[in-house]
C-alpha cells in the first residue's frame, strides 16, 4: 500500500474520530440534562422538513442547469440533471470530495453527455453554492465566528466584495483554465458575464434560505424553537456544511459537520441537546437524500443522447433534440 494512501486513511480516521469523540464527550458530560430535557417529536413536521430538504437538492440541480447554459453547449433537460445530481450524491460517502464528481462523469457518459463539460459545470455550481454559503454564514454568524468582524458596517461590504470578486467572469474563466491544465484537457469556454454571475449568486443565496427553512422545521420538530431562530439556524447550517466540505478527508463531512453544528447550536439549545440534534441532522439529511434518489429512480427515466442527436428513453420512447454529440461523451 502506498504511503500517500496510508496517510490519507489515517487522516480520515483522525478527523472523523475527533468529531465523533467531541460529540460523545459532550453527550456524556450532559447526559443528566439530556435525560431531563423535554423532547418532542412532531412526526408530521419532521416529514415536511425531509421533503423540504429534498426540494433544496432539486433547486441545486436547477442552479446546475443555469450554470450549464453558460457553457458552449446545447441545453440539457432538467430531469436528466436532477437524476445525475441526486444519484451521484451517494458517492459523497467515499473519503475524498472527488468521488461525487467522478460519479457525475460516469453517469453523464451513460446518458451520452460530455463528462468533461458536465463535471466542469458542476464544479462551477459547487463554487457558487460554497461562496454563497460562506457569505450567508459570515453575515448571520458574524459574532460567533472569531475570524469575522462583528460590526455589520464591515461585514456587509466585505460580503458584497467577496461575492463580486469570487463570481467575476474572469475568475471563473481562470479557474476553468487551471482545471483544464491540471486535467490536461482543452479549456472549456465560459460564456457567462456579470448578469449570469449575479443570477447564479442570487439563486445560490436562495438555496441557503431554503436550507435554513428546512433545518428550522427539522430542529423545531424535535426541540421547541422560536420563529426568529430561523435566521441563526440558516447560518449554522451553512457554516456546518462548509466545515464538513472543507474537511476533505471526511466522507460527506461526517464528524466535522456534526461537531461544528453542535458547537454553534449552544446559544439556542443546551449543549447535550445540541449534540443530539446535530447527530439527528445527519440522519435527516440521509433520509432526504434517499427520498430524492428513490423518487428520481422511480419517476425520472434515464435518457441517452443517441448518435443522431436525439434523446431516447429506456422504454424506447420518442426522441427529441439533445445537448451533445457522440464524440465528446466518452
Residue 238 has, within 13 A of its CA and on its CB side, a CA count of 31
Collapse the DSSP code of 201 into the 3-class scheme (helix H, G, I; strand E, B; otherwise coil) and give the result: helix
- CA-CA-CA-CA dihedral for 136, 142, 144, 145, to nearest 10: 80
User: Tens-digit pLDDT profile for the chain (330 aa)?
Assistant: 577 667 767 777 888 888 888 888 888 888 888 888 888 889 999 999 999 999 999 999 999 999 999 886 767 889 999 999 999 998 887 776 788 888 999 999 998 898 888 998 999 999 999 999 999 998 898 776 666 666 666 777 888 888 888 888 888 888 888 877 776 776 677 888 889 999 999 999 999 999 999 999 999 999 989 999 999 999 999 999 999 988 877 888 899 999 999 999 998 999 899 999 999 999 999 999 999 999 999 988 877 654 434 444 443 333 333 333 333 333
Grid coordinates representing 85 are 445530481
Amino acid at each position: 500500500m502506498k504511503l500517500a494512501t496510508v496517510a490519507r486513511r489515517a487522516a480520515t480516521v483522525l478527523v472523523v474520530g475527533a468529531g465523533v469523540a467531541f460529540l460523545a464527550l459532550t453527550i456524556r458530560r450532559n447526559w443528566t440534562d439530556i435525560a431531563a430535557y423535554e423532547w418532542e417529536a412532531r412526526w408530521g413536521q419532521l416529514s415536511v422538513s425531509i421533503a423540504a430538504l429534498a426540494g433544496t437538492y432539486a433547486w441545486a440541480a436547477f442552479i446546475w442547469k443555469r450554470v450549464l447554459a453558460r457553457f458552449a453547449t446545447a441545453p440539457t433537460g432538467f430531469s436528466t440533471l436532477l437524476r445525475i445530481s441526486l444519484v451521484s450524491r451517494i458517492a459523497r460517502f467515499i473519503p475524498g470530495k472527488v468521488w461525487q464528481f467522478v460519479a457525475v462523469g460516469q453517469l453523464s457518459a451513460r446518458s451520452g453527455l460530455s463528462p468533461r463539460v458536465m463535471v466542469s459545470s458542476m464544479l462551477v455550481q459547487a463554487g457558487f453554492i460554497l461562496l454563497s454559503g460562506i457569505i450567508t454564514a459570515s453575515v448571520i454568524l458574524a459574532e460567533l465566528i472569531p475570524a469575522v468582524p462583528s460590526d455589520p458596517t464591515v461585514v456587509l461590504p466585505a460580503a458584497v466584495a467577496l461575492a463580486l470578486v469570487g463570481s467575476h467572469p474572469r475568475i471563473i474563466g481562470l479557474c476553468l483554465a487551471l482545471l483544464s491544465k491540471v486535467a490536461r484537457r482543452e479549456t472549456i469556454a465560459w460564456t457567462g458575464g456579470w448578469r449570469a454571475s449575479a443570477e447564479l449568486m442570487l439563486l445560490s443565496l436562495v438555496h441557503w434560505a431554503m436550507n435554513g427553512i428546512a433545518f428550522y422545521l427539522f430542529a423545531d420538530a424535535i426541540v421547541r424553537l422560536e420563529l426568529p431562530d430561523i435566521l441563526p439556524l440558516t447560518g449554522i447550517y451553512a457554516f456546518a456544511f462548509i466545515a464538513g466540505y472543507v474537511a476533505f478527508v471526511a466522507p460527506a463531512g461526517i464528524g466535522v459537520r456534526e461537531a461544528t453544528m453542535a458547537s454553534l447550536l449552544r446559544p439556542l439549545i443546551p449543549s447535550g441537546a445540541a449534540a443530539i440534534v446535530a447527530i439527528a441532522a445527519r440522519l435527516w439529511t440521509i433520509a432526504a437524500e434517499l427520498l430524492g434518489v428513490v423518487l428520481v429512480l422511480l419517476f425520472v427515466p434515464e435518457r441517452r443522447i443517441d448518435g443522431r442527436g436525439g434523446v431516447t428513453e429506456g422504454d424506447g420512447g420518442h426522441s427529441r433534440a439533445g445537448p451533445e454529440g457522440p464524440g465528446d461523451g466518452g
